[in-house]
Amino acid sequence: MNTLLVIAKEPRPGRVKTRLTPPFTPEEAAGLAEASLTDTLHAVAATPATRRVLVLDGAPGPWVPPGFDVVPQCAGGLDERLAEAFAGCAGPALLIGMDTPQVTPDLLTVDFAGCDAWFGPAEDGGFWALGLACPDPALLRGVPMSTPMTGAVQRERLVAAGLRVRDLPRLRDVDTAPDAHAVAALAPRGRFAARLARCPVAAEPVAGPMSRPAGPR
């Protein structure tokens, strides 16, 4: 693995995890976003890589571990921002978002021998990871983001380009309060679970719809 990419937003109240409010306050939602991002970055830091890059919308904070290059996200839709993140890579790269704090170094340690791409589907129809042996921004541009079909369209784009695709396990993104409780249960020792436990509404999981917009954030 040459490059590991994390695309993320600065965890500021009112700018991140807005679908967690209610039941959480904007400040609590931002705290959960920071914990999710921190868990994600530390998993990436523990994964073998030549380069680790945080592609950030906003300003970095003390939650960025040592060893990361921080680069700003470009303007445009999510497809353009993902494409531009890959454009800055000279060799094999794996990109993930900030919404899967249950991710582990084992999941992120991928081998491109015998394949051209790795695809990590999300339960909401999006994708939590995308790896390309030869990063080509054109593989992402024009893919409709934040829809229940985003993952299917992106994976078909890879197959249509003649790439040999391997799948990573399906993971659940943290978008809603039920997501937060489910994901915290999968990684109970993480920062995200600890932050959720400190929220006043954490003891009462909130019911919610099973279908949600999708795509790395």
Using the structure block, give the residue that is written with the tokens 């695809």. Answer: 119
Q: How far is CA 60 from the centre of its chain?
A: 17
Half-sphere exposure of 105 (CA within 13 A, CB side): 9
State both tokens at 2: 């040459």
Distances (CA, A) of 157 to 9, 89, 153, 165, 186: 26, 20, 6, 11, 31
Dist CA 20 CA 17 (whole Å)? 6
Half-sphere exposure of 86 (CA within 13 A, CB side): 24
Would you give per-residue pLDDT tens digits along the chain (217 residues)?
Answer: 699 999 999 999 999 999 999 999 999 999 999 999 999 999 999 999 999 999 999 999 999 999 999 999 999 999 999 999 999 999 999 999 999 999 999 999 999 999 999 999 999 999 999 999 999 999 999 999 999 999 999 999 999 999 999 999 999 999 999 999 999 999 999 999 999 999 987 655 444 433 344 456 4
